[in-house]
Structure 1
Amino acid sequence: MNTEKIKLLPALAQTIEKAKSLSIPDERKEVLQVLIDYIQAKVDAREELNLNFICTHNSRRSQFSQIWAQTAADLYSIPAHCFSGGVEVTAFNERAVESIKRSGFRVSKKGEVNPVYFVFHSDDADPISAFSKLFDDAINKADRFAAVMTCAHADENCPFIPGTESRIPVRYEDPKAFDDTPEEGSKYDERSLQIASEMLYVFSKIS
């Protein structure tokens, strides 16, 4: 299955090569192995694979995770449906949107209040739909899925998530801490690239 078939947008392809070159510490690989095992088990059983990345506001880390996981799954030809959600509705943070654009994704926008962003990784694939929503929003229509908890607050404040087959903590530091500082752009890009690296690693391990 690890055959790259999609034709990535050129700037995105460069970002992905950079992400692949990053070193992932052993302790993170142990965290990611739980997610790898879940995905492999679904693939082996020929069951539908649904991943719901959950963070409090569904505005930064869970959006990065959904977009990069779907891109990695498509890149390695793993049939997966990657969603995201939160426990409060806000908006896909504009700083995170700009970081995604800098990574090489093509992005279009619909609406002004909690807009929907259509994120393209290639000219040939359907866009990834990205906007802030609750984890059980109708668009996250899977009945059985893994809840991938990308922040500590959501993990600790969502004791029960209906439909969850597996609850997998894969936590990331919040780039929000650097909002309105000189490091803002670089820290958003750093977090996005880390998530890209780890999602590419996860899907590259699926056979």
Structure 2
Amino acid sequence: MNILFLCTGNSCRSQMAEGWARHLKKNSLNAYSAGVETHGINPHAVTVMAEVGIDISHHTSKLVQDLPKEIEFDLVVTVCGHAHEHCPYFPGRSKIMHVGFDDPPTLANDLTDTNEILDIYRRVRDEIGTFVKSLPKVTLSDS
């Protein structure tokens, strides 16, 4: 099963989802992530994923059109509202599913304490991890 996690800037939530999927589901899913824009990899996302033993430091922020053209996605998961509203057309069998997660950079925008900031990223990381653990079962019950 080929799965794409799509977010606005492919910097945080979609990268964490790809990391979780590659770590937890490497034998059943081929995971990718992309954005409708590129914002670079968020260093806080890299930090909190490393805390659970998942290295996303080598990931790059990319656009959908940067992905190999021959990949047919079985499932495209939009992880933020903006990406869901601006989701490009995927021909063929692709199923589009929206599972919105809070945006850690937005929630942490006014914070200065590093631990408080990372706690926000950890919460979202864990929520994304829980969702990824449910794949692909969750796709069978959604329409």
Supply the RMSD in Å over aligned alpha carbons. 2.4
For 2:50, the aligned partner's letter is: K
Matching residue of 2:66: 137
Of 121, 126, 137, which residue of structure 2 is paired with 1:193? Answer: 126
Change (3 A) 1:174 1:106: closer
How far is 1:135 from its partner? Answer: 1.5
Residue 136 of structure 1 aligns to a residue whose secondary structure is helix
Q: Say whether the 8 Å CA contact 1:58–1:132 is kept in structure 2.
A: yes
Residue pairs, 1:157-196, within 5 angstroms: 157-158=86-87, 160-162=89-91, 165-176=94-105, 177-179=107-109, 181=111, 182=113, 183-196=116-129
How far is 1:180 from its partner? Answer: 5.7
Q: Say whether the 8 Å CA contact 1:66–1:82 is kept in structure 2.
A: yes
Matching residue of 1:202: 135
Change (3 A) 1:204 1:73: farther
How far is 1:142 from its partner? Answer: 0.8
Structure 2 spans left out of the alignment, 5+ residues: none
Residue 54 of structure 1 aligns to a residue whose secondary structure is strand
Structure whose alpha-carbon radius of gyration is higher = 1
Query: Does residue 146 in structure 1 map to residue 71 in structure 2?
Result: no
For 1:149, the aligned partner's letter is: T
Q: Say whether the 8 Å CA contact 2:48–2:122 is kept in structure 1.
A: yes
Alpha-carbon distance in 2 for matches of 1:164, 1:135: 17
TM, length-normalised to structure 1: 0.58
Q: How many residues align?
A: 135
Matching residue of 1:5: none
Query: Does residue 73 in structure 1 map to residue 6 in structure 2?
Result: no
For 2:18, the aligned partner's letter is: Q
Change (3 A) 1:170 1:101: same
For 2:47, the aligned partner's letter is: E
Change (3 A) 1:140 1:187: farther
How far is 1:106 from its partner? Answer: 4.2
Of 37, 44, 58, which residue of structure 2 is paired with 1:88? Answer: 37
Of 48, 73, 77, which residue of structure 2 is paired with 1:99? Answer: 48
How far is 1:179 from its partner? Answer: 3.7
How far is 1:50 from its partner? Answer: 0.6
